[in-house]
A and B are shown apart, each in its own frame.
Chain A
Amino acid sequence: MSATAFDAAAAARAWRPPPLIASPLLRYAIYGGALLYALLAVGTLEVNWARAAEGLERGARFIAGFFPPDFVTKRHDIMEGLMESLTMTVVSTVIGVALSIPVAVGAARNLAPLPIYLFCRAIIAISRTFQEIIIAIVFVAMVGFGPLAGMLTLSFATIGFMAKLIAEDIEDIAEEQAEAVRATGASWFQLLAWGILPQVKPRLIGLSAYRLDINFRESAVLGLVGAGGIGDTLNTAFDRYEFDTAAAILIVIIAIVLAAEYSSSWIRRKVQ
Chain B
Amino acid sequence: MLLTLSGLTKRYPTGDLALKGVNLEVPKGQVMALIGPSGAGKSTLIRCVNRLVEPTSGSVVLDGTEITGLGAAALRRARRRMGMIFQEYALVERLTVMENVLSGRLGYVGFWSSWFRRFPRRDVEEAFRLLHRVGLDHMVDKRADALSGGQRQRVGIVRALMQDPQLLLVDEPTASLDPKTSRQIMRLILELCEERGLAAIINIHDVALAQQFARRIVGLRAGEIVFDGPATELTPEVLTTIYGEEDWSQTIRAVEEDEEEAVPA
Q: Is the CB of A15 within 8 A of B137?
A: no
Choose from A6, A12, A17, A18 the contact partner of B127 (Cβ within 8 Å). Answer: A12
The answer to whether the Cβ of A50 comes within 8 Å of any Cβ in the partner chain is no
Choose from A3, A12, A13, A17 the contact partner of B133 (Cβ within 8 Å). Answer: A3
Complex CA distance for A133 and B135, rounded to whole angstroms? 62
Chain A-chain B contacts (Cβ-Cβ < 8 Å), number? 38
Q: Is the CB of B141 within 8 A of A12?
A: no
Query: Which residues from A are CB-within-8-Å of B135?
Result: 1
Choose from B96, B98, B116, B137 the contact partner of A6 (Cβ within 8 Å). Answer: B137
Query: Which residues from B are CB-within-8-Å of A11?
Result: 125, 128, 137, 140
Q: How far is the CB of B208 from chain A (nearest CB, A)?
A: 26
Query: Which residues from B are CB-within-8-Å of A9?
Result: 125
Complex CA distance for A1 and B109, rounded to whole angstroms? 30
Q: Is the CB of A15 within 8 A of B124?
A: yes
Mostly, the A contact residues are loop
Residues 123-138 of B at the A interface (beta carbon under 8 Å): 124-129, 132-133, 135, 137
Q: Is the CB of A8 within 8 A of B128?
A: yes
Query: Which residues from B are CB-within-8-Å of A6?
Result: 128-129, 132, 137
Complex CA distance for A15 and B117, rounded to whole angstroms? 11
Q: Is the CB of A8 within 8 A of B132?
A: yes
Query: Which residues from A are CB-within-8-Å of B98?
Result: 15, 18
The answer to whether the Cβ of B171 comes within 8 Å of any Cβ in the partner chain is no
Contacts A1-B133, A1-B135, A15-B140 given; does A8 touch B96 at CB 8 Å: no
The answer to whether the Cβ of B253 comes within 8 Å of any Cβ in the partner chain is no
The answer to whether the Cβ of B172 comes within 8 Å of any Cβ in the partner chain is no
Q: How far is the CB of A8 from chain B (nearest CB, A)?
A: 4
Contacts A12-B127, A13-B121 given; does A18 touch B141 at CB 8 Å: yes
Complex CA distance for A11 and B128, rounded to whole angstroms? 7
A contacts with B, residue count (CB < 8 A): 11
Residues 1-37 of A at the B interface (beta carbon under 8 Å): 1, 3, 6, 8-9, 11-13, 15, 17-18
Q: How far is the CB of B46 from chain A (nearest CB, A)?
A: 28
Residues 83-123 of B at the A interface (beta carbon under 8 Å): 96, 98-99, 116-118, 121
Write the chain A residue with the least CB distance to B118: A17
Query: Which residues from B are CB-within-8-Å of A13?
Result: 121
Q: Is the CB of B137 within 8 A of A12?
A: no
Complex CA distance for A6 and B127, rounded to whole angstroms? 12
Complex CA distance for A8 and B98, rounded to whole angstroms? 13
Complex CA distance for A17 and B128, rounded to whole angstroms? 14
B contacts with A, residue count (CB < 8 A): 19
Complex CA distance for A163 and B117, rounded to whole angstroms? 46
Query: Which residues from B are CB-within-8-Å of A3?
Result: 129, 132-133
Complex CA distance for A201 and B212, rounded to whole angstroms? 54
Contacts A3-B133, A6-B137 given; does A15 touch B99 at CB 8 Å: no
Choose from A8, A12, A17 the contact partner of B117 (Cβ within 8 Å). Answer: A17
Q: Is the CB of B125 within 8 A of A8?
A: yes
Contacts A15-B140, A18-B141 given; does A8 touch B121 at CB 8 Å: no
A224-267 interface bits toward B, Cβ cutoff 8 Å, 1 = contact, 0 = none: 00000000000000000000000000000000000000000000
Q: How far is the CB of A5 from chain B (nearest CB, A)?
A: 9
Q: Is the CB of B124 within 8 A of A12?
A: yes
Write the chain B residue with the least CB distance to A7: B128
Complex CA distance for A15 and B118, rounded to whole angstroms? 11
Residues 19-78 of B at the A interface (beta carbon under 8 Å): none
Q: How far is the CB of A139 from chain B (nearest CB, A)?
A: 47
Write the chain A residue with the least CB distance to B141: A18
Choose from A1, A12, A18 the contact partner of B128 (Cβ within 8 Å). Answer: A12
Query: Which residues from B are CB-within-8-Å of A18?
Result: 96, 98-99, 141
Q: How far is the CB of B201 from chain A (nearest CB, A)?
A: 26
Residues 207-228 of A at the B interface (beta carbon under 8 Å): none
Q: How far is the CB of A243 from chain B (nearest CB, A)?
A: 45
Q: List 16 A-B contacts (CB under 8 A).
A: A1-B133, A3-B132, A3-B133, A6-B128, A6-B129, A6-B132, A8-B126, A8-B129, A8-B132, A11-B128, A11-B137, A11-B140, A12-B124, A15-B140, A17-B99, A18-B96
Q: Would you list the 7 A-B pairs with minimal beta carbon distance, nearest first?
A: A17-B117, A12-B124, A8-B128, A12-B125, A8-B129, A11-B128, A6-B132
- Using a CB–CB cutoff of 8 Å, the interface residues on chain A facing chain B are 1, 3, 6, 8-9, 11-13, 15, 17-18
**Beyond known contacts A1-B132, A3-B132: 17 more, CB 8 A cutoff:** A1-B133, A1-B135, A6-B129, A8-B126, A8-B128, A11-B128, A11-B140, A12-B121, A12-B124, A12-B125, A12-B128, A15-B98, A15-B128, A17-B116, A17-B118, A18-B96, A18-B99
